[in-house]
């Protein structure tokens, strides 16, 4: 865990913040590297020091959030399922601009499917097919069912300006998930 030079962190933070802001304002295709460097207040060349191009930047940004969420899930594994969900919803809230932009219709269409894929992966360890209750149920169907429900609910919550606090959402979703699994 060799710590990273703070200049790298600062530059990358500024660049990532910039592209999220810009994506919330205009179409991804219309964003130039110059736009990003202007907004981030870094030299244009600095962006190329960290990313191949704007697609690579978007990929890395998404993947970072996925990893962050994976970290939260494994870290919160010891807790109750409902408690773990609270932490996730607080993460969504904290990164509101990212999720609202990415889940918006004009947003990155790749993110929704990547998000779903991640959730299914996480649910995999939670479903128990050997359980009496789940006799005759197909795993892929169950995972898909839970995953889309989760994504869809988060999407609704975010796109409607987070009408309930995270812990309420987490509680509701937690109850519903418990019933399924």
Task: List interacting residues with DNA (CB under 7 A).
Answer: 3, 5-8, 10-11, 32-34, 41-46, 48-50, 52-54
Q: Residue 53: which region, alpha, beta or left (left: phi > 0; alpha: psi -120 to 50)?
A: beta
Tell me how far CA of residue 58 lies from CA of 25, 47, 49, 145, in angstroms: 15, 12, 15, 28
CB of 63 to DNA, least distance (A): 19
Of the pair 9, 129, the CB lying nearest a copy of itself is at 9
> With respect to a copy of itself, which residue has the nearer C-beta, 44 or 60?
44
Least distance between a copy of itself and beta carbon 16 (Å): 16
Return the residue matching tokens 């109850």. 175
Of 27-86, which residues contact a copy of itself (CB under 8 A)? 41-43
Query: Quick check: 179 binds a copy of itself (CB under 8 A)?
Result: no
Q: Under the criterion CB under 8 A, does residue 3 sit at the interface with a copy of itself?
A: no
Nearest residue (CB) to DNA, 33 versus 72: 33
Residue 153: phi and psi, rounded to 5, are: -70, -45
d(CA 76, CA 73) in angstroms, rounded, equals 5
Task: Indicate which of a copy of itself, DNA, none lies near residue 50 (CB less than 5 to 8 Å, by partner kind).
Answer: DNA
Question: Is 154 within 8 Å of 95 (Cβ atoms)?
Answer: no
CB of 55 to DNA, least distance (A): 8
Number of H helices, E strands in the chain: 9, 0
Our CB check for a copy of itself shows the closer of 6 and 179 to be 6
Cα angle for residues 116, 122, 123 (degrees, 5° grid): 90
Query: Is residue 29 within 8 Å of 109, Cβ to Cβ?
Result: no
Of 41 and 67, nearer to a copy of itself (C-beta) is 41
Q: Applying CB under 8 A, which residues contact a copy of itself?
A: 6, 10, 41-43
């Amino acid at each position: 865990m060799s710590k990273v030079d703070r200049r790298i962190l600062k530059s990358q933070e500024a660049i990532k913040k910039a592209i999220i802001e810009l994506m919330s304002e205009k179409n991804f295709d219309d964003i130039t590297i110059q736009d990003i460097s202007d907004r981030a207040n870094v030299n244009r060349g600095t962006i190329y020091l960290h990313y191949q191009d704007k697609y690579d930047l978007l990929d890395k940004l998404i993947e970072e959030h996925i990893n962050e969420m994976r970290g939260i899930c494994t870290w919160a594994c010891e807790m109750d399922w409902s408690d773990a969900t609270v932490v996730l919803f607080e993460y969504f809230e904290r990164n509101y601009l990212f999720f609202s932009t990415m889940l918006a219709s004009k947003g990155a269409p790749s993110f929704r499917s990547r998000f779903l894929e991640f959730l299914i992966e996480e649910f995999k360890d939670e479903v128990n097919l050997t359980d009496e209750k789940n006799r005759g149920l197909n795993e892929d169907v169950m995972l898909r069912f839970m995953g889309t429900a989760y994504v869809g609910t988060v999407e609704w919550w975010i796109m409607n300006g987070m009408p309930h606090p995270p812990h309420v959402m987490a509680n509701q979703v937690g109850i519903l998930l418990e019933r399924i699994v």
